[in-house]
Each structure stands twice: as C-alpha cells, then as structure tokens.
Chains A and B, each alone.
Chain A
C-alpha cells in the first residue's frame, strides 16, 4: 500500500531564517506531488505541483520554492521566511492517471509552521 511521510510535524522558525520541508512517498511510482498551504481558518492553497523529476509548476508567486530530486521525494524550501509564511503545510500525492477518478489526492500528516 502507498504511504506518504512528511516531516517535521511542527516547526517554529524566526523571520529571515531558511526553511526545508521534506516529503516522501512509498509504494507507488511516478506520482504527482503537491505542496499545499492552509492558513488558519482558510482553505487549501496549492503552492506547487510536480508531475515528474525536476518538473515543478508554481501556482502562487512568493518566496517559496520546491524541488523534486527523486521520483518520490518533494522538498519545499525558502531562503528567508516571512511572518506571512506561517501556516499548515501539506504534502500530497496522486496517481494522476488522467480521466475520472484518477486525481484524488492523499495527504501527509502536515507540518505546522510558525514564523516568529
């Protein structure tokens, strides 16, 4: 069965510090990978998605970046965090086989980031 691991679960970082969140998927090959952010009381905002190694699409221009160095590894980074980067960050994967039923996303446990 497929599993998704995301860490750390919680993180408190000072403004201006760097960020690296990592996500790995097991039990599947060539998944679509996603980073979402959920601000307090808000919906899920898609930040990045990737359909393959080295292929990253950015949905929202901001001081975050993403990389996919391996098929089942997705990394979210920032060089300098802002207060507005605080939120609940979720990594997700989907098979992306196309057509109906092929794009349901499965989420990691999330990282609660507080920038102070």
Chain B
C-alpha cells in the first residue's frame, strides 16, 4: 500500500524561527510532491509542489526533495502566528491519484 507518513506533532516554534516539516513516502514511482496548509475547520490549500531533487523556494517557504531517501520537507522561515495550521504532505500515486499524509500540526508561539 502506497503511504505518505508525517509526524502528527504538534510542532511548536517561536515566532520568527524556522519551522521544519518532514514527510516520507513509500512509492518510488511518485514523481510529484505537494504541501498543503489546512487551517482548522477549513479545506486544504496548496502551498507548493516539487518534482526535482533539491530545493524549491517560494517566499518564506522552501520545499526540499530527496528521491533517493524518499524524503520531502518544508521549511518555513520567519514563522508567523498566522502560519499555525496543519500541513499535509502529498505524493502523486499514479493513475491520477494523490496520496496524503495525516498532517503535521504547527504552532507558532508569539
């Protein structure tokens, strides 16, 4: 069974610090990886996607992919209280399906 695993947290970081969120996946055939942010009671919203090994930066967010280790991460620089949410990692699972992890809850402490 194809799986995406994340630590459920909560991960607590002080305001202004770097938050590091991690994810591993089991399907070596996955090509694209996604990070979604989900505020409590709301639907997930796409933050970033990555498909090449290495880093991809977008503002305060950096996604990192290591296909050899089957590892994806999301770094949030200068964390703000508004970043407090659950972050879902997802991987494409072939046949047009995306498999989601259970999410990591991030708490940014003012």
Contact = CB atoms under 8 A, between A and B. Distances in A.
Interface residues of B, number: 23
Interface residues of A, number: 27
B43 A46 contact: no
Given A42-B102, A46-B99, A49-B96, A103 B32 contact: yes
A82 interface: no
Contact of A100 (B51, B97, B99): B51
B14 to A, nearest CB: 25
B25 interface: no
Instruction: Identify whether the interface residues of B are mostly helix, strand, loop, or mixed.
Output: loop
Contacts of B100: 36, 43-44, 46
B32 A100 contact: yes
Contacts of A94: 96, 98
A90 interface: yes
Interface of B: 31-32, 34, 41-46, 49, 51, 88, 90, 92, 95-103
Given A94-B96, A109-B43, 5 more contacts: A32-B96, A98-B96, A100-B32, A100-B51, A104-B46
6 shortest A-B CB distances, which residue pairs? A43-B102, A100-B51, A96-B96, A107-B43, A44-B100, A103-B92
23 contacts: A43-B88, A43-B101, A44-B88, A46-B98, A46-B100, A49-B96, A51-B96, A100-B51, A101-B49, A102-B32, A103-B32, A103-B97, A104-B34, A104-B98, A105-B34, A105-B46, A105-B90, A106-B46, A107-B43, A107-B44, A107-B45, A108-B43, A109-B43
